[in-house]
Every structure is written in C-alpha cells, then in structure tokens.
Amino acid sequence: MKPYLTLAATMATTLLALALPAAASPEPSDWQAVLDEAEGQTVYWNAWGGDTRTNRYIAWVADEMQRRVGVEVRHVKLDDTGSAVSRVLAEKQAGNDNEGSVDLIWINGENFAAMRERDLLFGPFAESLPNFALTYPDDNPEVVTDFTLPTDGYESPWGKAQITFYYDSAYTQNPPRSMDALLDWAEENPGEFTYPRIPDFTGSTFLKQALIELSEEDDALYQPVSESDFDAVTKPLWTYLDALHPHLWRSGRSFPDSGPALRTLMSDGELSLAFSFYPSEAAVAVREYQLPESVRSYVLEGGTLGNVHFVAIPYNSPHKAGAMALANFLLSPEAQAQKQSLDMWGDRTVLDVNRLDEEDKARFEQGDTHPAELPADALSQTLPEPHPSWMTALQDAWRERYGTR
C-alpha cells in the first residue's frame, strides 16, 4: 500500500499502557538547522512498491535528494503499509525510541488514524516545511484532512487520487456511468469487468464508492462506524455485490490482486472496462503501449471517491531531519510537476498551481492532452473519504462474506 491497506486488528491487544518518550529531533521551524543536520543522512522511505511508475518516480526523487541536499533515500518497497506500521509499534513495545527502522512512510486513512491514536508519529512538522505554503491549506482543506480526520501537522501531503474508470472504446460505446448502470452493463457483458480482491486499497475503494452511491444513510459514513448500525447501512452494498459477482471476470470466483493486475487484464483483452485510483493511469499506460490506443477514461456522473495521500515520520526515526528535507522536496514545484507528468507517473499535484509564479506554473504545462486522458474539469466532483473506521469494517465484512471463494 500502499497507504490505504488495513492495520491488523490484533494490534490493538498488544499496545503498551503508557506512551514512551520520543527520540530527540531537530526543531522543524529552524529550517537551516534541519538542512544542516540532514546532510549525510540515509532516509529509509517505506512506500508501496507495487507499480513501476511509482517506483521510477521515487528513484528520481532519490537521485535529486542526493544531488541537492546530500541525503540518501532508500525505498523500502511495501505490499502492505500495515506491515511498516506494525514494525514501528513493535519497536515502541521493545523500548526502541531512538533507532527506529522507518524514517518516512507513505500513508493515509486508517493507518494514519492508528498511528496517531498510538502516538507513533513525530510532529507537528508539516506546516514548518517551506514548500507546504504552496498548497494554500486555508483554501484547500483536503491537504490537512485525512479521511475526515485533521492531520494536525503530523502528515505532509504529496499527491491526489480519485477513482477513474477506463474502457476500450473499440468494444464499448456507452460505458456505465453509475453503480446501477454498471450492474446492468456487467449482466450484458459477462466476464468483462471486475475489481481487486479485498483488502487491496483499489478494491476497498470500489466498495466505498458503491456504498456511498447505494446507501440512503451515507451521512453515517462520515462518523465512526461504531456510532452507526453497520448491518443496516451496508445492506444495499451486499445486495448489490451478490447480484454483481456472478457477472464478473471468472464469475466472481476469484479476483485480481491489485490495481496494476487489473490493468494487466485490460491489456490482455480479458476485460473491456476497469478503473484506477490514479486518473492518469490509462493515459500513461497507452503511451507506454501497455493498453490499446482505443482506451478512454471517464468518471461517474455523481462524482467519484478521491483523497490526498501523505507522508509521515515515525516518532522514533533516527533521521528526522533527512525525512523532513525529503518531505519538503516532494512539495517543491519541480518534484510535483515531475510526478504529475505522464512521462513519469501521472499522479496529481497537491499544489495550488494557479497561485504559483509564472516559472513554476509553466512546469505543469504538458502540451496536448492525450486522448486517453480526462478533460481538465472532469474531476471537479470529488466525493470525500468516509471515516477511516469504515474501511476496516468493510474489509472485514467482505472477507467474511466472499473471502473463501
């Protein structure tokens, strides 16, 4: 996880009764002192490693950090962000408050909530990063809110994601633009659509998208799940999935492992409709000859689920200065434009581009729009993420209901 994956529920039973003191750290507001201390440090950045585009961007960042500020960045590739969170917790239980193995972590959602609840994060630091001001948080509250929870400076934003569907226009002329229409489409086109197996973050996001659209009690989703009648709120979702699954790829008896695996099924011609949490994914894949030129992207009529993803620093990182320097570089116009480029990753910026100076604004001008790319205003209807407790509850319920298939 990637950052969206679930922290093992059993963690709760192993917590220490009392918080342990945090490691000594540089003062974030003294930025020159941060940079002086950062030079020569090695930062172990724990980040999802399941996609070549993400990995090549992080490799580019590592080269730039070494060249610019003398910080070595090592990408610790994860398939489940919860494993890194569990490692930090285990270190805390063992009394390791100064020499942790994780310096920076790509995180959001329920993993951020779990780490904040357990005092596993260093901060606040984000507002002290010189480039943080370029997000203009007063006008863009999504950069300081994570799944309804305020970040309070314990996370620094670095990218945006939103569910985007894509289809092969050579076979599909009128793709479904709502969840109800998707069910009708799947019945008429059996085996040509599916979603990743839960708890993959892309698959879990599909569940939330469906629940928001199908439930008449969606206000409950923005409060802790314990405050709602879970069975009543989610009943329309399970009814929907029971009807949908027989018409999925392999009749819903198995599911691909991840979003990239979903893209591979499209590339192999096994699917003619898929989706991603990265709006530019289809356009990047077409450019790199991984999807046919006839692929096009779109969003649902009522909007699609989106969020900001962040980086955070564990409380016991021994290289906090280097981690802050890295988080700041990730927010620079150059790094954000490189990340958004279809030649690199295609991940959307968290900067308020219209308020940048002309030189920095020009970095984001990428020429002609690719035919597989969404129009500039297509992502204006962004549905907010539910409270993080809903993701864990939905994953557990899905696995109990469908996980043995």
Work out the average pLDDT over 23-44: 90
Q: Are residues 315 and 396 in the same domain?
A: no
Residue 258 predicted with pLDDT over 80: yes
pLDDT tens digits, one per residue of 341-393 = 988 998 999 999 999 999 999 999 876 677 888 876 788 889 999 999 999 99
In a domain, 376, yes or no: no
Q: Are residues 317 and 283 in the same domain?
A: no
In a domain, 379, yes or no: no
| Those residues with Cβ within 8 angstroms of residue 36's Cβ, 6 or more apart along the chain or in another chain | none
Q: Are residues 61 and 134 in the same domain?
A: yes
Rounded to whole angstroms, the Cα distance separating 46 from 105 reads 5
pTM over 0.85: yes
Number of domains making up the chain: 2
Q: Are residues 225 and 285 in the same domain?
A: yes
Residue 22 predicted with pLDDT over 60: no
Of 52 and 335, more confident: 335
In a domain, 75, yes or no: yes
| Residue 135 three-state SS | helix
Q: Is the dihedral of CA 110, 116, 122, 124 positive or negative?
A: positive
Rounded to whole angstroms, the Cα distance separating 45 from 313 reads 9
Please tell me the predicted confidence (pLDDT) of residue 3: 45
Q: CATH code at 249?
A: 3.40.190.10
Q: Are residues 49 and 136 in the same domain?
A: yes
Share of the chain above pLDDT 90, in %: 81
Residue 245 predicted with pLDDT over 60: yes
Rounded to whole angstroms, the Cα distance separating 184 from 180 reads 7
Cis ω before 339 (30° cut-off from 0): no
Rounded to whole angstroms, the Cα distance separating 256 from 266 reads 11
pLDDT tens digits, one per residue of 40-93 = 999 999 999 988 889 999 999 999 999 999 999 999 999 889 999 999 999 999
Please tell me the predicted confidence (pLDDT) of residue 50: 83
Buried b (16+ CB within 10 A) or exposed e, 34-62: bbebbeebebbbbbbbbbebbbebbeebb
Q: Are residues 180 and 229 in the same domain?
A: yes
Q: Are residues 252 and 398 in the same domain?
A: yes
Q: Are residues 353 and 279 in the same domain?
A: no
Find the domain containing 213 and state its range: 164-298+384-402
Question: Is residue 90 within 8 Å of residue 316, measured between CB atoms?
Answer: no
> How many angstroms from the chain centroid is the CA of residue 242?
27
Beta bridge partners of 311: 106, 156
In a domain, 303, yes or no: no
CA-nearest of 347, 340, 327, 332 to 71 is 327
Q: Give 17: exposed, middle or buried? Use CB within 10 Å, 0-12, 13-18, 19+.
A: exposed
* Helix residue spans in 257-387 (DSSP H): 259-267, 281-287, 320-330, 333-340, 358-362
Please tell me the predicted confidence (pLDDT) of residue 23: 45
Work out the average pLDDT over 96-121: 96
Work out the average pLDDT over 187-200: 96
- Supply angle C-alpha 254, 300, 260, rounded to 5: 40
Confidence of residue 405 (pLDDT cuts 50, 70, 90): low
